[in-house]
A and B are shown apart, each in its own frame.
Chain A
Amino acid sequence: MVNRNIVFSIIIILIALGAFYNVGNLEMDSSIFPQVTAVILVILNLLHIFKHIRKDKKKALLNDVNFSGLITMALGIVIYVIAIKLIGFLVASLIFLSLFMWLLNENRKKQPLKAFIQCIFVASLITFGFYGIFQHLFLIPLPQGVWF
């Protein structure tokens, strides 16, 4: 298995080099600080790589974790955020909250109907509650979707 610390440092070095060249054509007073920082990052990460080549215990990035739960949650957040643009804040939040409250609920296998109703109820309360506060009290318009 490739060492995760080394992979990380290589990515950071690439980002730092990219940043160094990206500001290269700017005036000195705008470019000097990011360039110095980028050089420092490269040096530190080379040291980091060196340190991990010398001695390292190979460890998996995600040991002993509920991997499927983690991925579901992460994907859920990404899809939720993208969906806001399409179906609007209200509908997307309602779906996201009720779905995840249900998925994470421990009772959903024992008492599926009760768990389902509970989740929908709590999700609606939260969504409409916050929507009302932001839209009408704080006067912050929450995003409308393209479709709705």
Chain B
Amino acid sequence: MLEYLAGALYHIFNLSNFLLMTLGVSVGIIVGALPGLTATMALAVLVPFTFVMDPATGLMTLGGIYVGAIYGGCISAILINTPGTPSAIATTFDGYPLSQKGKGEHALVAAAFSSGVGGVIGALLLMLLAPLLVEVALKFGPPEYFWLAVFGLAIIATIAANSILKGLIGGALGLLVSTVGLSPIGGAMRFTFGFYQLQAGIELIVALIGFFCIPEILGMVEEKISNKQKIKRFVTKKGVAKEVIIYLLKKPILLIRSAIIGAFVGIIPGAGGNVAGLVSYNEAVRWSKERDKFGTGVLEGVAASEAANNSEVGGSLVPLLTLGIPGAPPAAVLMGALLLQGLRPGPDLFLQHGAITYTFLLSLVVANIVMFILGFYGSKYIARVINIPVSYLAPLIAFMTVIGSFSIRNNMLDVYIMVTMGFTGYILRKLEFHPGPIVLGMILGPIAEKGFVQSVMLVSSTGSVAKVFFTRPISLVLIILSVVSASWPFIANWWRKKKEAAGEVTSSGQS
């Protein structure tokens, strides 16, 4: 790892790379601040701009957008009580009461500072944990990869959906969609219906653009969101920033605990920034000596939520980069971007493309610092973009989905697939199917299929199903984890009932 760091620093601080990353962070913050536009969507529509760049620069820019968008959500959460991205839900609890008390600036500074600290800790944890997981991933054979895919689906089906059955159906549907095109082992053509463009399968990014953007556009029109609540300009007071930062620096345990919670929630596939923020907020309340003050406007509440959701960014990339399983929906888009650049997530990323990978990892640390500076000095200006009316946004995003899905392969069929996926995604959301499991099914499909078919071949040569599928040690661990995660909702339900009886509130949600 150390041998790559000098080169990585050189790449990151190359003027054009650094400017593009900073631009990524700024665009991310703006998109994140706009209610209704999520970090996933920001990444999906902006990937096409990065794939003309060289891989390291493209990834740095996307990392910047991801970091910026997750942070940006706090601005509207604090100022108008509407989280700009779902990740900022917990930020509204204390952020909005603070701005009602005329302490909007306090809340914004606290959010920028704790996001920066949380984000840097998350990125450092990513740099620490990913190489360890790579060591494990190197020991994987076909059966392990198969069980890994099963585990990924089991966990997301149970976490991301309200109904396990719907989660599982979504996952299986994603798996079926992933089989379009050449089969990975046999090489036969499947479900291409005579379209040669479908031979390589449905392009992941195209599907993601449709899935995450079109339903949002239709949702905007459907709800007739009108931003009646205009942002008031506020005057910054001298000394507030220093006061808030010194106050938070005296609470290192709060910041570190929130960041660690965020990173670990991020590692779990299916649990995104909103879960990270909510869990961390709950813990902050639980550990506090002044529990009653939470919810009335305390800086600790804002810091707990923001440190966790930005640290989750690093966490969500751990399983993505090492195993090819995104830890959160925005990470799924990054997976598509990696594939477009010809980089396949997994141990190879660290062993063969170490220079690019470590540049990306280190750039996340730098992006968080850039984000803090931009947020610190710029949030009062960025706050004004929240006033952009939906009448401009909805058509603009539709336009960008079209230009984006076309430009990936210069192919109109991709645009039609994107629109079809988008409408399907909208209907599925109406039927309360969560997009998470479906997308993960599409991503894990090829891993699962390759692992499964090769294992079946191993069975026919060794003659023992148990030896291939069930008794290998890593497989066994993955099977146990899958069973535990599949039974998790029942355990959680029991736990919640117990807690409710004790008068505490727990929450869960989507990213």
Contacts and interface: CB of A to CB of B under 8 A. Distances in A.
B430 A62 contact: yes
Interface in A83-106: 84-85, 89, 93, 96-97, 100-101, 103-106
Contact of B218 (A38, A74, A127): A74
B326 to A, nearest CB: 20
Q: Is the interface of B mostly helix, strand, loop or mixed?
A: helix
B60 to A, nearest CB: 18
A96 B395 CA distance: 8
Given A34-B176, A141-B410, A100 B186 contact: no
Contact of B389 (A37, A103, A106, A140): A106
Given A23-B190, A44-B168, A100-B394, A12 B173 contact: yes
A142 B410 CA distance: 8
Contacts of A147: none
Contact of A26 (B168, B186, B402, B430): B186
Contacts of B214: 77
Given A65-B222, A74-B423, A104-B391, A37 B179 contact: yes
A143 B416 CA distance: 14
A19 interface: yes
B276 interface: no
Interface residues of A, number: 67
Contacts of B422: 77
Interface string A59-91: 001100110011011101110110011000100
B191 A106 contact: no
- Most A CB contacts (10 A, CB to CB) among B173, B187, B221, B224 go to B221
Given A70-B221, A81-B416, A44 B423 contact: no
Interface in A18-74: 19, 22-23, 26-34, 36-38, 40-41, 44-45, 47-48, 51, 61-62, 65-66, 69-70, 72-74
Given A32-B452, A73-B217, A73-B218, 8 more contacts: A23-B190, A26-B186, A41-B172, A44-B169, A45-B169, A69-B221, A84-B412, A142-B406
Closest 3 pairs (CB-CB, A-B): A30-B186, A104-B391, A30-B188
